[in-house]
Amino acid sequence: MSWLKEFAAKTEHLLNNLDQAAGQMITTTGSPTQQVGEENTNQSFHESTTVSSNIIQERSAPMPTSVSVPANMNKMNGRSSSPYLNQMSRSSYASSQSNGSSKRKDKDEELFEFLNSGDDKKTKHSRQSSCSSTTSALSSKSSRTNTTTNEAPCSETPIKSSEEVIPIVTGEEKADQQTHQFELENKLLKNEISSLNNEMNSLVKRVKTAEEESKKLQSQINQKNYEISKIDQALRDLRSKETDFNEALNAKDSQLAVLRVRLEENDKALMSKKEIIEELQGEKSRILQDHTSVSGVQSQALESVKDRLEEVQRTTDREKNEFQKKEREYTDLIAKLEDQHQSISGALATAQRRLTEEQTQKSDAVSQLKNFKVSLDNAKRELTEYKEKATRILQSKERLIESLKSGDGGESDIAASEIRELTEEKEFLREELQHTRATIETLRTELQDTEVQFATDIEDVNENLSHCREELESEKRKCRELEHESSRQKQQLDLAGEELIKQKASLQTKLKEKENEVEKLRSQLLSRPAPNSNEAELENRLHALTESLIHKQTMVEALSTEKNSLSLQFERLEYQYKELQASNIRSHATINIMEDEDVRQRTPMFMRESPADGDVTRRVKRAANNIDRFSIRLGVFLRRYPIARVFVIIYMILLHLWVMVVLLTYQPEVHGKEFNGKLPAAHPPSDG
């Protein structure tokens, strides 16, 4: 806003100059009026000095700001100065022209009223007071000169000569002219100030509108920046999620490997525990055989054996339920695999349909190209025929013209008319030839464009066909893998069922054997008589055996609880492994189906082929696209097969190790001073 301040300062300086000029004119116009009389001259001089002092005080006072001055200047000047100045000029002019005392008195009264009103309005504004003071001073001087001229013959002498009146009248006329000039200058200045005020208002409005527009643009820019930051944050979140998922998959793979090792360890532990159980059962049988003499101990042992048998039965039932549960889970997995197989077959059908559509498009394009070639051949043939016809017509016309020229002079008018017609026909035929040539050129260009477009379409169709074939091969390979996996799962289920059946049969046989042993022991106890000697030794032995039996039972219970917890962990891990397999199958299927579309979407616009490209640019773009596709497929392959990643990592490590070995063991050939001295001896300088 510096230019507005400069503009306001310039206007203020202009107004100050106007005030100074008005004060100088007032001081210069006060000198002719001093010849009228001493009292009036003193009074007018006193008033002029007061007016000039007021003007100087107003100039010395600080001016208002650039915004407040133009806003009130036109109103105050138009309201206070202009009507009273016009009235004052009329009154002074009438007083100078009229000689009646009544009119002079009326003008004097109006002048005093104007002066009183001007003094009242002086307190409104500094600029208004300065203008009113200057005008009141001028009007008071002119009126006082009139009053002195009117009162002088009445008070001092009744009659005066005309020589004294003439200079007074001329001085009044000069004062009136000067007031008219001041009024005109004031009007011009008011007009300029009003125009400047209008310009200032328009500029202020423009500045406000520009500020509003800048604020709107700033708000829009802030909004766009906020949206861009949101999009960047979303992208970062997605990338972090992707990395987290990859890390989770790697962690799951490592966890699966660890769990497989743990499962093998648990199987070994179970085998060892089974051996321990068999040993315990052997000890139990020995203890039962040793304590056949004690009926109470035998009954307790029988009860413990029954409890153990019941526990074994419960474990078999629980294992049977677990087997049924696993069988249901495997059936659900097979159903899911079948659903996935159906979806993949549907995708294959859509791909085949797309391939057939593209083949039909290719055949249509080939037929269109053939039609274009046939039409071009027809056009060329018609052009040659038309050229031959035109040449024949032109030759015949030329022969006719020559015959007409060599004929009689009486038929000159007819020959001239025929010659004109023939020339017109010749020009028409030339125009038609040019038109046909232009059409042929356009047809040639169109044919070239169609050939280029056809070539690009054929290339695109070939690429799509190759991609569709690759997709078909990949889908077929996936189907084979899924079928192999399903057959393997079925085999595993069959093996698990057979193992469970075998375990069930073995447990049933063991139960029957135990029942037979119990029956035998009961019969032996009933048949044998109770012993009467060595009861203390038997009791001590019985206590020791019971304690060892209790200890072994506690060990068996702890082992059974550990087995149950391990089986639960195994089931949980199997469920997680199945979920991971299902998610991997889904991710692979989506990646393989939408791979090429993602690749095409990832390629930028400047790397896509267009008909306007040249051969070199097209080849470069194809090479870049092929490299991009190969890199993406390599990345997908490495992501899909972790063994390949392991081999690549091992290869890189071995390569680095080999490079380090070569760098550390390599010794360059170093030649000493003898080698440098032998070089000139081998080639002696010649004297010639």
Instruction: Please give the mean pLDDT across all residues of the chain.
Output: 70
Percentage with pLDDT > 90 across the chain: 2
**How far apart, in whole angstroms, are the C-alpha atoms of residue 346 and residue 349?**
5
Same domain, 322 and 427: yes
Mean pLDDT of 343-352: 76
Counts for the chain of helices (H) and strands (E), in that order: 14, 0
Instruction: Please indicate, yes or no, if residue 236 is contained in any of the structural domains.
Output: no
pLDDT tens, residue by residue, 166-200: 455 567 777 888 888 888 888 888 888 988 888 88
The answer for residues whose C-beta is within 8 angstroms of residue 644's C-beta and 6 or more apart is: 637, 638
Instruction: Please indicate, yes or no, if residue 40 is contained in any of the structural domains.
Output: yes
Contact at 8 Å (CB) between 70 and 196? yes
pLDDT at 155 over 60: no
Tell me the range of 146-160, 438-452, 506-520 where mean pLDDT is highest: 438-452
Same domain, 415 and 498: yes
Q: Could you say which of 612, 630, 646 is where a domain stops?
A: 612
Predicted confidence band of residue 165 (pLDDT cuts 50, 70, 90): very low
Range of the domain at 117: 2-221
Q: What is the number of structural domains in the chain?
A: 2
Answer with the residue of higher pLDDT: 209 or 300.
Answer: 209
Instruction: Please indicate, yes or no, if residue 226 is contained in any of the structural domains.
Output: no
Same domain, 213 and 304: no
Same domain, 9 and 104: yes
Q: Could you say which of 612, 644, 669 is where a domain stops?
A: 612
pLDDT tens, residue by residue, 13-71: 888 888 888 878 777 654 444 444 444 444 444 444 444 444 444 444 434 333 334 43
Burial class of residue 118, CB neighbours in 10 A (0-12, 13-18, 19+): buried
Same domain, 588 and 457: yes
Q: Could you say which of 202, 221, 240 is where a domain stops?
A: 221
pLDDT at 666 over 70: yes
The CB-based long-range contact list for 416-422 (8 Å cut-off, 24+ gap) reads: 422/397
Instruction: Please indicate, yes or no, if residue 591 is contained in any of the structural domains.
Output: yes
Burial class of residue 294, CB neighbours in 10 A (0-12, 13-18, 19+): buried
When mean pLDDT is compared across 259-268, 427-436, 536-545, 605-614, the lowest value belongs to 605-614
Answer with the residue of higher pLDDT: 508 or 140.
Answer: 508
pLDDT at 302 over 60: yes
Same domain, 321 and 179: no
Distance of CA 10 to the CA centre of its chain: 51
Instruction: Please indicate, yes or no, if residue 261 is contained in any of the structural domains.
Output: no
Other beta carbons within 10 angstroms of residue 366's beta carbon come to 13
Residue 32 has a pLDDT of: 46
Same domain, 112 and 7: yes
pLDDT tens, residue by residue, 564-590: 777 777 777 777 777 776 766 654 444
> Three-class SS string for 619-681?
HHHHHHHHHHHHHHHHHHHHHHCHHHHHHHHHHHHHHHHHHHHHHHHCCCCCCCHHHHHHHHH
Residue 459 has a pLDDT of: 82
Q: Is the dihedral of CA 176, 177, 180, 181 positive or negative?
A: negative
Mean pLDDT of 539-544: 75
Mean pLDDT of 480-488: 78
Answer with the residue of higher pLDDT: 570 or 650.
Answer: 650
The answer for residues whose C-beta is within 8 angstroms of residue 480's C-beta and 6 or more apart is: none
Same domain, 324 and 178: no
Same domain, 170 and 319: no
Residue 27 has a pLDDT of: 73
Percent of residues in the chain assigned helix, strand, coil, to nearest 5: 90, 0, 10
Same domain, 474 and 568: yes
Residue 531 has a pLDDT of: 47
* CATH number (domain holding residue 428): 1.10.287
Residue 33 has a pLDDT of: 44
Contact at 8 Å (CB) between 51 and 26? yes
Instruction: Please indicate, yes or no, if residue 419 is contained in any of the structural domains.
Output: yes
Q: Is the dihedral of CA 86, 91, 96, 97 positive or negative?
A: positive
Percentage with pLDDT > 70 across the chain: 65
Residue 655 has a pLDDT of: 95
**How far apart, in whole angstroms, are the C-alpha atoms of residue 606 and residue 261?**
53
Instruction: Please indicate, yes or no, if residue 665 is contained in any of the structural domains.
Output: no
Same domain, 217 and 303: no
Instruction: Please indicate, yes or no, if residue 300 is contained in any of the structural domains.
Output: yes
Instruction: Using DSSP, state whether 455 is helix, strand or coil.
Output: helix
Answer with the residue of higher pLDDT: 382 or 681.
Answer: 382
Same domain, 339 and 203: no
